[in-house]
Amino acid sequence: MTYFIAFAIIALLAVVVVQIGKLSELASRIRGEEAVEKSSNTTQGMALIVFMVVFLGASVISAWYYKDYMLGYGPLTSASAHGFELDHIFNVTLFFTGIVFILTHILLFWYSYKYRNIGGRKALFFAHDTKLEMVWTVIPAIVMTYLVANGLIAWNSIFPTLTEEDKYLEIEATGYQFAWDIRYPGLDGKLGNKDFRLIDLASNSLGIDWRDEASADDIILGGTDKIILPKDSTIKVRITAKDVLHNFYLPHFRVKMDAVPGLPTSFIFTPVLTTQEFRQQLSKYPQWQEPVDPADPNGPKKWETFEYELACAELCGKGHYSMRRVVEVVTREEFDTWLAGQKPFYGANIRGTEADPWAGKKVFSYEKKARASELRSDINTFIADTTGTASNAFPLKFVNFDEKGILLSEVAGAELDVLAEIVKQKPSMKISVTVTAANAEEAQAKAEQVGVYLSSKGVTAQVTGVASENQSADSKAANKVEVKIISK
Amino acid sequence: MANVTVHEEDVLIKDNGFDDHFHEHHHGDKYQSSFIFHYIFSMDHKIIARQFLITGMIWAIIGAAMSVVFRLQLGFPEESLTWIKPFLGKWIVVDPTTGIGKLAPEFYYALVTMHGTIIVFFVLTAGLSGTFSNLLIPLQLGARDMASPFMNMLSYWFFFLAGIIMFYSLFLSTGPFSGGWVAYPPLSALPQASSGSGTGMTLWLVSLTFFVVSVLLGGINYITTVLNLRTKGMSLWRMPLTIWAFFVTAILGLLSFPVLVSGFFMLIFDRSLGTSFFLSDIFIAGQALDRVGGSPILYQHLFWFLGHPEVYIIILPAMGIVSEVLSVHSRKPVFGYRAMVYSIMAIGFLSFIVWAHHMFMSGVNPFISNFFVVFTLIIAVPSAVKVFNWITTLYGGNLRLNTPMLFAIGFVSMFISGGLTGIFLGNSAIDIQLHDTYFVVAHFHIVMGVAAFFGMFAGVYHWYPKMYGRFMNETLGKIHFWGTIITAYAIFWPMHYLGMAGVPRRYYSFDTFDAFRHFTEMNKFITVFAIIAFFIQLVFVINFFYSIWYGKKMKTKNPWQATTLEWTTPIEPIHGNWPGKLPVVHRWAYDYNKDDREYVQQHVPLNEGEVGDH
């Protein structure tokens, strides 16, 4: 029924339209076509003038009304260093195009009105005028040259070539349907290699190549964690995609670059306002002082909940509109603290699993650091203990041997060096090292190697080799190395 | 002697005309004898022009209706769309508890994609260039028909076939293609990336390949006809600007569309034969694909090598039509005829070396962008020349402000508004922020969407008497014009502000982001005007079809007192266009008010001491 009514209304409108047409033709036949045409010319000419006034007026007024959303005006100024330059060029262009827009529209509509045919006048024969044409070829050319020069200078400064000496933080953003993964380089400042063939959604969703040592301390943000960036630091975002094209778009920072599968791109920018500072800036504007929830006037105000955002700006499928990630800019100190508190993905998820290519072969500097401080605090706890409940045995995790049974001194050093350092500081301390291996001979040989290493660091230890009770245990489990403190 | 009478005109052609013995042969007649060959499989350029126009109009209605549906989603995301479920079926997802029906995101993207594809290719390329090149090239040049009427017929039927395939794809259960009209791989190459990238994309590619065949068949014909079939005296510098525009348009199409097809073929290979032209390092749907070494950016280069000339393929015919209409209804020669021709050529040439300005943010080397910025902004110069020349054409004229003239004036306004925003986008530094935002949507809709439609409307209202022997209704035409210009600006002007605020295009919903969700009221405003604009266009459609049978009859051969040759043909169109001899041309196309005569047609011989060219 609804459809019938809708159809009937449309049909009725069509009839009305046809009748208007018929009526107007009848009217013009009665009044004489020429007279009708001339009076119509005047009506239409006036209408064009009215339209021009309303249109130009509306364009200026609407620009004023929405000025807070325009580039370089109002509260939403650029949050990055290069953005100011860009906003400036935008406004220079707006100035020149604005003049042309208004002048040409005035001429177009004014001439249309002024030269309407009302009879009694002959049109000019004005076919060309070389001087005039030169003027309006040369002037746009000069203005364009100015705009192009400005634009290109800015453009080339936005895409500098960074060298090793430049200090910058390189992070990586990987787009996929329909979210972003963010990776930080960790202590070494380098992002490890990755390869899409290594992607395993359960354990390695980015396909990071753990054989690359640089990847061992890389930090991968959790799915909805804020992207934390340091203020006033050069940031190079390496932008990649896993499946289809995406676009890394930070509207507040004037940053935009496609994420292309198979072709890493990058964008370099410097945030100049922390999230807090940006909020302070917003708080000066009345529209940002309104409460977020109109029903709750005492709740948080709009400026208090402002966040920088990361969006996708290249159509990537049905969830394209939802790839949001919050970005937070903090001071460099806050950033360093935050970064230090992040656990490398490798250490937390890969170390010691089957996927770990470095098991027993290498200890990474951050792991050495962590293990050293762990061992140091364990031993110190024992030393400080007066109740006698603390164990005097400390299993060593990194003291390993290669296939031929030779001590991997580089790896073992992580713990043995700490041990040596503590013992040297306390000359009264005596220690013993026990190595458990498949048979007594092998165990003894390995234990002696540990002894040799320690003595090279200037520490003497009793070393003992013990045959493993469980003969069938694999050699890894059998290679148990334990240090005991015999006397404090 | 203010007017050359109809009688004298015939005498002139009879006495001075060029005899090609056309009517002594009857080669055309067998194709004109039955209804099927006269109206359907016609080889007559005037019929083919009308076929292109009406097919284009049907596609325009479909494309515009799609935009209304997705605008409803953007303007009124909270409202239930259950009422269109009978038409859209499963694409309206009804929440079982609340009963609120929503457009499925997949279908939103399918609508956006189809809207773009249909309007750009089927309406503004085939419907605009196809219609007016076919109608005007033989008539304004004094030719009996196109160089190859048979190819011309094929051109239409390939377009028709392309249309049928695209139309069919709308009804697939997985939906039509939904990866944007530019169809960037890998999204368009991998069915697992999007439901529309399966059969929908296959049909999209097949349809557009046929479409390109149509464009090429048409284009070769237009070029050959312009070069070879001009009547005696019609030197290149005497051709009306319409013909210049169609000529350069055809060359652009001929040089750029094959590049698009090569891209399409590589895409088809990547989709079906396992090649990796555009694919590399892809992990999708839980699987690493065995495709390495390709580059998605290569496709973008191939696409935009057509894509940019394509926007000039759309706008140049409109420019030609507007130049002609402004001149005729101002009763003045078009100002700076030669400058206009040179600027058409300059724009045509430059359009081939600016394609990567669509790709500043695609990951191409930023250094390369320098060149594309320079070339892009050079285009502003010939464009500015054209605008100033159009305005000067009005100066000192005797303007008839009828519907075609109003649309031509509206075109100039749109071209200024939309062209100026191009200066922002062509400058790569500003483009960083504006790329793929609503600013771009506003820019290209105004400069090549609305403006091209205005050119097309100006042409339809102006040459309607030539096509159907009757006039379209003036009052309805004016309602159409005012309704369209007001709603078009109301729709697209606010989008500039959305874009400056950073709102990206192709977003199904703005609610996910704090930065983009401030504009609820503006989006409602735009949607309301989009709906009004759609219904205003129905006024045009009704006027068009009503006038075919009931419009005011054309009583004289040359109702606009124009100078060009199409107005010397009989009111009742005939095969071969002129009975007897072909007219011979003695002067350029713009002798309005040169001396005491109000206008002098091109076939009128020169008086003593008179100059025929300017």
Of B86, B185, B435, the CB nearest to A256: B435
| Chain B residues 263-322 with a CB less than 8 Å from chain A | 279-284, 286, 288, 292, 294-297
pLDDT digits (tens, 9 = 90+) for A364-385: 877 888 888 888 888 888 888 8
What pLDDT is attached to residue B2?
46
Of A214-218, A445-449, A453-457, B50-54, which one has max mean pLDDT? Answer: B50-54
The band of B271, judged by pLDDT with boundaries at 50, 70 and 90, is very high
Of A47, A101, A309, the CB nearest to B416: A101
> How close A307 gets to chain B, by Cα (Å)?
8
**Residues whose CB falls within 8 Å of the CB of residue B609, separated by 6 or more in sequence, listed in order:** none
> How close B365 gets to chain A, by Cα (Å)?
9
Chain B residue whose CA is closest to A83: B433
Query: What average pLDDT score do residues A206-222 get?
Result: 90
Per the domain annotation, does B85 fall within a domain? yes
Per the domain annotation, does B201 fall within a domain? yes
A396 beta partners: A481
Q: Given CATH 2.60.40.420, say whether it is the number of domain A169-350.
A: yes
Chain B residue whose CA is closest to A75: B501
pLDDT digits (tens, 9 = 90+) for B114-173: 999 999 999 999 999 999 999 999 999 999 999 999 999 999 999 999 999 999 999 999
Chain A residue whose CA is closest to B326: A112
The band of B1, judged by pLDDT with boundaries at 50, 70 and 90, is very low
Does the structure show a pLDDT above 80 at A29? no
Using DSSP bridges, classify how beta strands A235-241 and A393-396 pair: parallel, antiparallel or unpaired: unpaired
Residue A255 has φ and ψ, to the nearest 5°, of: -120, 130
Does the structure show a pLDDT above 50 at A31? yes
Yes or no, beta carbons of A24 and B421 under 8 Å apart = no
How many CA atoms within 13 Å lie on the side-chain side of A335? 21
Q: At what angle do helices A130-158 and B366-378 cross, to 10 degrees?
A: 160
Yes or no, beta carbons of A133 and B336 under 8 Å apart = yes
From the list B74, B65, B62, the residue with the least C-alpha distance to B526 is B74
CA distance A218 to A225: 16
Residue ranges, CATH 3.30.1330.60, chain A: 365-487
**Residues whose CB falls within 8 Å of the CB of residue B569, separated by 6 or more in sequence, listed in order:** B139, B466, B557, B577, B578
Yes or no, beta carbons of A261 and B282 under 8 Å apart = yes
What pLDDT is attached to residue A478?
54
The band of A72, judged by pLDDT with boundaries at 50, 70 and 90, is confident
Chain B residue whose CA is closest to A303: B514
pTM above 0.95, yes or no: no
What pLDDT is attached to residue B7?
57
Yes or no, beta carbons of A127 and B401 under 8 Å apart = no
What pLDDT is attached to residue B8?
67
What pLDDT is attached to residue B139?
95
The band of A471, judged by pLDDT with boundaries at 50, 70 and 90, is low
**Least trusted range by pLDDT, from A55-64, A422-431, B253-262:** A422-431
What pLDDT is attached to residue B364?
92
Please give the share of chain A, as a percent, with pLDDT higher than 90.
46
- Please indicate if any CB of chain A lies within 8 Å of the CB of B386: no
- Residues of chain A in contact with residue B387, where contact means CB-CB under 8 angstroms, are 104
* Cβ-contact B475, B546 below 8 angstroms: no
Average pLDDT, chain B: 92
Per the domain annotation, does B585 fall within a domain? no
From the list A138, A144, A265, the residue with the least C-alpha distance to B427 is A144
Chain B residue whose CA is closest to A258: B362
Here the tokens at position B269 are 């290979």
Write out the residue range of the structural domain in which residue B316 sits. Answer: 6-281+289-568
Query: What average pLDDT score do residues A417-442 get?
Result: 84
CATH of the domain at B141: 1.20.210.10
Residue B145 has φ and ψ, to the nearest 5°, of: -165, -170
Among A15, A148, A303, most B C-beta atoms within 10 A, so best to mutate, is A148
Between A and B, how many CB-CB pairs are < 8 A?
371
Does the structure show a pLDDT above 60 at A265? yes
Query: What average pLDDT score do residues B43-50 get?
Result: 93
* DSSP symbol at B198: T
What pLDDT is attached to residue B33?
63
> How close A320 gets to chain B, by Cα (Å)?
7
Q: How many helices (H) and strands (E) does chain B have?
A: 19, 6
What pLDDT is attached to residue B521?
92
Query: What average pLDDT score do residues B540-556 get?
Result: 93
- Residues of chain B in contact with residue A33, where contact means CB-CB under 8 angstroms, are none
> How close B52 gets to chain A, by Cα (Å)?
24
The secondary element (H helix, E strand) that includes residue A396 is: strand A393-396
pLDDT digits (tens, 9 = 90+) for A307-332: 999 999 999 999 999 999 999 999 99
Of A24, A155, A199, the CB nearest to B473: A24
CA distance A268 to A438: 56
ipTM score of complex: 0.93
The band of B28, judged by pLDDT with boundaries at 50, 70 and 90, is low
pLDDT digits (tens, 9 = 90+) for A80-119: 999 999 999 999 999 999 999 999 999 999 999 999 998 8
What pLDDT is attached to residue B350?
95
**Between these two residues, B110 and A470, which has the higher pLDDT value?**
B110
Among B475, B534, B535, B547, most A C-beta atoms within 10 A, so best to mutate, is B475
> How close A239 gets to chain B, by Cα (Å)?
10
CA distance A431 to A463: 9
Ramachandran assignment for B538, one of left (phi > 0), alpha (psi -120 to 50 degrees), beta (any other): alpha
> How far from B8 is each of A23, B4, B553, B568, B597, CA to CA, in Å?
36, 6, 22, 11, 15
Q: What is the CA radius of gyration of chain B?
A: 25
- Residues of chain B in contact with residue A144, where contact means CB-CB under 8 angstroms, are 377-378, 380-381, 423
Third-level CATH fold of A365-487: 60s Ribosomal Protein L30; Chain: A; (3.30.1330)
Residue ranges, CATH 2.60.40.420, chain A: 169-350
Q: In sequence order, what DSSP letters do the residues of A306-327 get, joined into one string?
A: --EEEEE-S--STTGGG--EEE
- Residues of chain B in contact with residue A242, where contact means CB-CB under 8 angstroms, are 282-284
Count other Cβ atoms within 10 Å, centred on residue A345. 26
Q: What order do you get walking across the sheet with A179-184 strand by strand?
A: A219-220, A179-184, A169-176, A235-241, A265-269
The band of B284, judged by pLDDT with boundaries at 50, 70 and 90, is very high
**Least trusted range by pLDDT, from A297-306, B319-328, B399-408, B426-435:** A297-306
Residue A116 has φ and ψ, to the nearest 5°, of: -65, 150
Among A25, A321, A325, A326, most B C-beta atoms within 10 A, so best to mutate, is A321
Per the domain annotation, does B612 fall within a domain? no
The band of A443, judged by pLDDT with boundaries at 50, 70 and 90, is confident
Does the structure show a pLDDT above 90 at A484? no
Domain count, chain B: 1
What pLDDT is attached to residue A73?
80
Start-end of H helices in B118-240:
131-141, 149-169, 199-228
* DSSP symbol at B90: G
What pLDDT is attached to residue B423?
95
